Amino acid sequence: MAKVKKQPRPKAETPKGFRDYFGAEVAQRKAMLDQIATVYHRYGFDALESSAVETVEALGKFLPDVDRPNEGVFAWQEEDDWLALRYDLTAPLARVYAQHRNDLPTPYRRYAMGPVWRNEKPGPGRFRQFYQCDADTVGAASVAADAEICAMLSDTLEAVGIPRGDYIVRVNNRKVLNGVMEVAGILDPTDPEKFSTERGIVLRAIDKLDRLGPDGVRALLGEGRKDDSGDFTKGAGLANEQVDVVMSFMEAKRADGAATVARLKELVSNSTIGQSGVQELETIAELMAAQGYASDRIEIDPSVVRGLGYYTGPVFEAELTFEIEDEKGRPRQFGSVAGGGRYDDLVKRFTGQEVPATGISIGVDRLLAALHAKGRLDKAAVGPVIVTVMDRDRMGAYQSIVGDLRNAGIRAEVYLGNPKNFGNQLKYADKRNAPVAIIQGSDEAERGVVQVKDLVLGAKIAESASHEEWKAQPAQREVALADLIAELRKMLGDMDSDGAG
Amino acid sequence: MAKVKKQPRPKAETPKGFRDYFGAEVAQRKAMLDQIATVYHRYGFDALESSAVETVEALGKFLPDVDRPNEGVFAWQEEDDWLALRYDLTAPLARVYAQHRNDLPTPYRRYAMGPVWRNEKPGPGRFRQFYQCDADTVGAASVAADAEICAMLSDTLEAVGIPRGDYIVRVNNRKVLNGVMEVAGILDPTDPEKFSTERGIVLRAIDKLDRLGPDGVRALLGEGRKDDSGDFTKGAGLANEQVDVVMSFMEAKRADGAATVARLKELVSNSTIGQSGVQELETIAELMAAQGYASDRIEIDPSVVRGLGYYTGPVFEAELTFEIEDEKGRPRQFGSVAGGGRYDDLVKRFTGQEVPATGISIGVDRLLAALHAKGRLDKAAVGPVIVTVMDRDRMGAYQSIVGDLRNAGIRAEVYLGNPKNFGNQLKYADKRNAPVAIIQGSDEAERGVVQVKDLVLGAKIAESASHEEWKAQPAQREVALADLIAELRKMLGDMDSDGAG
């Protein structure tokens, strides 16, 4: 051998904040995406897959959660352009609609699912690549479009396995909030830019009600708040009377939708925009009722604001209401798994014309985590039937057996490692969670039979059986090769042995 | 309104070389990926979804087609690391296996599907983001693993709709080629690095046989080649006798596999590595025959080398053998849609230990293009049933109708644009390729009926009918609301009205 200068070996690691998904994880997510797509499609939405890479210019500055310092996108310079990985599916939709609007129907209902990337500080359970699953209607000004999104969100949650009662879709309206801001003196309809910094802080403060409680929010509305670590977050600087107005809005929820609407009407009686927002909430409530969506599925909740700055009308949030245990074993509500709302200005950036739009984004990974927490998803999938190799020279015969099984739709494979040690073959079958192993030595081959080993039953017996039972080997029996497929079908029973999803 | 300084509008464009996929395109690709996954899964392969972003260090320098100047990845610096988008699914597999090898079964059969990104010059039909669909077996040294990959590739092509006879899986072996190189005097087994530049040029020259013909390849094996534009590509600099040896290898294909193997044996009789390669080809041929894969599906073809430098043993390529018309209307063979082979060194980069591996990558977008070229895929999908809006105040009633249809599994939507102009609603239905429109004015509502308009029949009548037929409106009739679902099911017949895939 020639002397080749040794280079240091590369590290076998994903970049920080990224991860890989294996077997059952991939299959479960795919199954969920398929279930969601089926509902979206049934509602008349068409699939769109935009490119993962966009120009920074097209993505614009619509980054969520602007108060976080490490917030950003993954971007790089390419010749004259700055390119970036999409950070959500909404900004690309605005670009797609502006680019193709002459060829697309109006309204344009589209759904999209795929990974998005955030250049944020990774943390436990917090990754820099994750899946979103969105549906949006572009070009429909009517709140009937918003109501449809809420109904679809409710149907979708039930389709993926969240039973009614375990979730609630909450609806609010930014116009009502703007009306409250007007009443509180931090929105001047004749000068919309004035107080925009204060309003941004108010929005984000309200969005943190769950986490910080009313006192924490009051602090952020006023001078500011010192957190447990001693860090100080500057507040909106509102006077006490102003803070009271905003807090009364957040606490406006009553026992039923009609009472909540009545309370909101009182609060914004001096604001035209606020009144129009309440009117929209009433219409949405009527449309939901007409379709039979009662308050066990959808409710009006003034505390929902959604952090994103770009919403202009109705906003929605789906929350799972059951409790799970947190890292420390304490019970807590699972919380939000989807959110969205109406954003009438995103397309305008490109075209100069206002295009009304509304939509929803489902956090698929969080929804999967919820189903796992409720024990509704299996950890491991059933593996293939393993045809073991007793006799290396008869590989062709083993391949022929496995070929027949596959043609019959049975998931199966020949052991392809070194066949010398038979114990390793069974260990492999165990690691693959294989339901059955098939064994054929030259003696069996001559007689046209195989040994069929039931690994599920075998594992049970190994756990609990007496020595006699163990020796009797009820988990293994001889089957004529001609009967193998029928026998396996019986054994695999209702196990899903061929679904890739 | 306040005066806001105008910023120039961003361009609504994908970055150069990227594109969006709409409706039927997304559904057709998804259907194909599902079909492929079903076959891979039935063969015992497990899904893996690795992160789209890798460290540049982990991706290493295994870039294909190293003789192209603009070749590269999309990369950027992030704190201390250089990160990049994956350019294929094989390099990430090597990293994943090295990282998780203690938890994974050995052999590890995995499949992966998803976009990859190439920082290459875009061109017509040549994009910088495209789908790959791979299956690999890691940790199996036996050529039985290679044979299995070939059988699976053949099954997969038939599963996605390429009938037997329209494709061929070609198999060769790098060791045979190395034997030929040894005989030609450009491989010294005692000094493997010597002549590596020449061998790289030889490999890429052979890979261009289809495009350049024998004379073009001879030129590249010798001094070099001037192309039509006058550009000169430097050759491997072989002497004529050496060129003859390499050419005789490329022309070694005979009428059947046995004759080809016999010819290859002659050519490499003086090379140990070459003989071992021929032996492996024979074993693969035997295993394929044992499973019934005859030469109408899989054949040995010495002209297959695959451009990638990392293959170490068997190499495969699937080619579609039917003719299509090129841009200029001339018939040409469709060509390669999948390729792969054995690569025993990729994991070693990380761990220092050689790990045998073999696999295949299917170019899904090319395969879809092939099915389109053969007219086997529809251009447009069937749209939803459209419930039109005759009376804006009765939106709740329309939503209720559409809700009932969806609950019955019928894809349906209410028109959500401005309902003022009824003609626009029918134009919209036409653009959506809707099969049926439903119309209910206040008169019909009172009587509990709807008008059902068969848009498919209507379009036919509009094309060909006489004035009398047109007036008779056979495409529109009144249906009791209670009978609507049954009526629609009859009309939609075997149209797939709810499959999202």
Tally the residues of chain B: 501
Same domain, A164 and A284: yes
pLDDT of residue A472 exceeding 70: no
Q: Is residue B15 a part of any domain in this protein?
A: no
Question: Which parts of A121-204 are beta strand (E)?
Answer: 129-138, 167-173
Distance CA B288, CA B281 (A): 11
In contact, A321 and A157? CB cutoff 8 Å = no
Distance CA A285, CA A282 (A): 5
Which amino acid type is present at position A416?
L
Tell me: cis bond preceding B107? Omega within 30 of 0 counts: yes
A117 and B52 within 8 Å at the Cβ level: the answer is yes
Q: Is residue A424 a part of any domain in this protein?
A: yes
Q: Tell me the two tokens of residue B246.
A: 């390499």
* DSSP character string of A182-240: HHHTS--TT-TTTTHHHHHHHHHHHHTHHHHHHHHHHHHHTTEEE-TTS-EEE-----H
Q: Out of A353, A373, A393, pick the residue that ends a domain.
A: A373
Q: Out of B307, B341, B373, pick the residue that ends a domain.
A: B373
Distance CA B34, CA B28 (A): 10
Residue A8 gets which letter from DSSP?
Answer: P
Same domain, A71 and A190: yes
A105 and B428 within 8 Å at the Cβ level: the answer is yes
Q: Contacts of residue A27 in chain B, CB cutoff 8 Å? A: 47
Q: Is residue B380 a part of any domain in this protein?
A: no
User: Does A136 carry a binding-site annotation?
Assistant: yes
Pairing verdict, β B81-85 and B167-173: unpaired
CATH number for the domain including B301? 3.30.930.10
Distance CA A113, CA A95 (A): 16
Exposed/middle/buried for A79, CB within 10 Å: 0-12, 13-18, 19+?
A: exposed
B53 and A20 within 8 Å at the Cβ level: the answer is no
Same domain, A136 and A223: yes
Give the pLDDT of chain B (501 residues) as one tens digit per residue.
Answer: 444 555 678 999 999 999 999 999 999 999 999 999 999 999 999 999 999 999 988 987 544 444 443 358 898 888 778 899 999 999 999 999 999 999 999 999 999 999 999 998 888 778 999 999 999 999 999 999 999 999 999 999 999 999 999 999 999 999 999 999 999 999 988 998 899 889 889 988 888 888 889 999 999 999 999 988 888 999 999 999 999 999 999 889 998 888 999 999 999 999 999 999 999 999 999 999 988 999 999 999 988 877 666 889 999 999 999 888 777 888 888 889 999 999 988 899 899 999 999 999 999 999 999 998 888 887 677 899 999 999 999 999 999 999 999 999 999 999 999 999 999 999 999 999 999 999 999 999 999 999 999 998 888 777 776 666 666 667 889 999 999 999 999 999 845 444 443
Q: Out of A343, A373, A403, pick the residue that ends a domain.
A: A373
Same domain, A313 and A451: no
Q: Is residue B501 a part of any domain in this protein?
A: no
Residue B313: CA count within 13 A, CB half-sphere:
22
Same domain, A391 and A334: no
User: Does B218 carry a binding-site annotation?
Assistant: no
Q: Is residue A15 a part of any domain in this protein?
A: no
Residue span of the structural domain in which B92 resides: 23-373
Distance CA A62, CA A349 (A): 11
Give the residue carrying structure tokens 């009313």. A214
In this complex, the residue of A47, A145, A350 whose CB is nearest that of residue B23 is: A47
Q: Quote the crossing angle between the two packed helices A272-290 and A174-184, to the nearest 10°.
A: 150
Same domain, B323 and B254: yes
Same domain, B393 and B348: no
Write out pLDDT tens, residues B263-272: 999 999 999 9
Distance to chain A for B211, nearest Cα, Å: 31
Number of other CB atoms surrounding residue B471 within 10 Å = 8
Same domain, B187 and B315: yes
Same domain, B187 and B49: yes
Same domain, A341 and A442: no
User: Does B306 carry a binding-site annotation?
Assistant: yes
Q: How many domains does chain A have?
A: 2
Tell me: cis bond preceding B64? Omega within 30 of 0 counts: no
pLDDT of residue A69 exceeding 70: no
Distance CA A417, CA A428 (A): 9
Tally the residues of chain A: 501
User: Does A67 carry a binding-site annotation?
Assistant: no
Query: Choosing among A1, A6, A7, A20, which should be mutated to test the B contact, i.e. which has the most B CBs within 10 A?
Result: A20
Cβ pairs A/B, distance under 8 A: 323
Q: Is residue B242 a part of any domain in this protein?
A: yes
Distance CA A253, CA A336 (A): 18
Q: Is residue A274 a part of any domain in this protein?
A: yes
Distance CA B183, CA B270 (A): 7
Same domain, B439 and B304: no
CATH number for the domain including A479? 3.40.50.800
In contact, A51 and B15? CB cutoff 8 Å = yes
Q: Is residue A10 a part of any domain in this protein?
A: no
Same domain, A363 and A399: no
CA distances from A59 to A82, A170, A358, B14, B22 (A): 11, 28, 18, 11, 20
Residue B262 is predicted with a pLDDT of: 92
